[in-house]
Copies of this chain bind each other. A is one copy, B any other.
Amino acid sequence: VTVALVGAGPGDPDLITTRGLRLLRRCDVLVHDRLVAVELLDEAPPGSVRIAREEFDQEQINELLVAYGQAGLHVVRLKGGDPFVFGRGGEEALALAHAGVPFEVVPGVSALSAVPSAAGIPITHRGIAAQATLVSGHAPDELDYEALVRLTGTLVVFMGLGSLARIAAGLLEAGIERSTPAAVIARGTRVDEQVVAGALDEIADLSAGLEPPALVVIGEAVALRGRLRGDCGAALQVG
């Protein structure tokens, strides 16, 4: 195996997997997302090549991974969260497979549950939320709001800060309660995490001051926040 698609976890550098960290510490080439914690980038060997994902388009990244892989170098493609949860890991894996380059996938802790839980919100909870749906906020007009409202569990929106007003309006038009609890968590699990919570019909206004990356969580389970916080926030700091 020469190329590893590695999930870096949700933000806190301590939430990478032991396998991911081991591969990172012996890589020749590190291709990383901009949002990956700098503490993790510093785990790569001093002589390794470091390439920021955002300086290239996806096609170029695929070609880079193939080229370094064909050269027999140990490449770590470090991606925020999990490579296959809105991570476009599948596209990179297909490019590698197509070129015959051996690769592996090392799953990571997705923001999906980790970011809400660090903010005291369980996305599933007995008697409150028996299911959860993840959507992307990139194409809010393509969402089936009626079906989303019928599924009574927790709705988690990745990259949804910019389209939050549109998504909230869509859910409200489809008949969801105006008072449905909602939260926006920016830089979740990090020491500088910010959480805004409120009713769905006001959450877009309340979160106007937040910056991406942010996760939106909507549903009754959000109301458990506070009761569940414990020392989550502090404990998820680098330790």
- List, in ascending order, chain B residues with CB within 8 A of A150's CB: 144, 146-147
A171 to chain B, nearest CB (A): 13
Kindly report how many copies of this chain are found in the complex they form together: 2
A125, CB-defined interface residue at 8 Å: yes
- List, in ascending order, chain B residues with CB within 8 A of A14's CB: 17-19
- List, in ascending order, chain B residues with CB within 8 A of A88's CB: 126
A91, CB-defined interface residue at 8 Å: yes
A136, CB-defined interface residue at 8 Å: yes
A12-B19, A104-B234, A131-B143 given; name 5 further pairs at CB < 8 Å. Answer: A1-B231, A9-B17, A107-B114, A131-B133, A133-B151
Q: Is the Cβ of A232 less than 8 Å from the Cβ of B84?
A: no
Segment at the interface with B among A28-36, A70-78, A115-123, A177-185 = A115-123
The size bracket of the interface on A is: 35 or more
- 14 A-B pairs within 8 Å (CB atoms) are namely A15-B107, A22-B239, A90-B122, A93-B228, A94-B228, A97-B227, A102-B230, A104-B236, A107-B113, A107-B236, A109-B109, A130-B136, A130-B142, A151-B151
C-alpha spacing A169/B88, complex, angstroms: 32
Q: Is the Cβ of A103 less than 8 Å from the Cβ of B139?
A: no
C-alpha spacing A217/B228, complex, angstroms: 30
C-alpha spacing A60/B223, complex, angstroms: 25
Q: Is the Cβ of B90 less than 8 Å from the Cβ of A224?
A: yes
Give residues in A with beta carbon < 8 Å to B: 1, 4, 7, 9-10, 12, 14-19, 21-22, 82-91, 93-94, 96-97, 102-110, 112-114, 116-118, 122-126, 130-136, 139, 142-144, 146-148, 150-153, 189, 221, 224, 227-232, 234-236, 239
Could you say which of B108, B124, B231 contacts A84, with CB atoms under 8 Å apart? Answer: B124
Known: A110-B113, A112-B110. A105 touches B232 (CB 8 A): yes
A173 to chain B, nearest CB (A): 16
Could you say which of B10, B106, B135 contacts A130, with CB atoms under 8 Å apart? Answer: B135
Could you say which of B7, B17, B21, B105 contacts A235, with CB atoms under 8 Å apart? Answer: B105
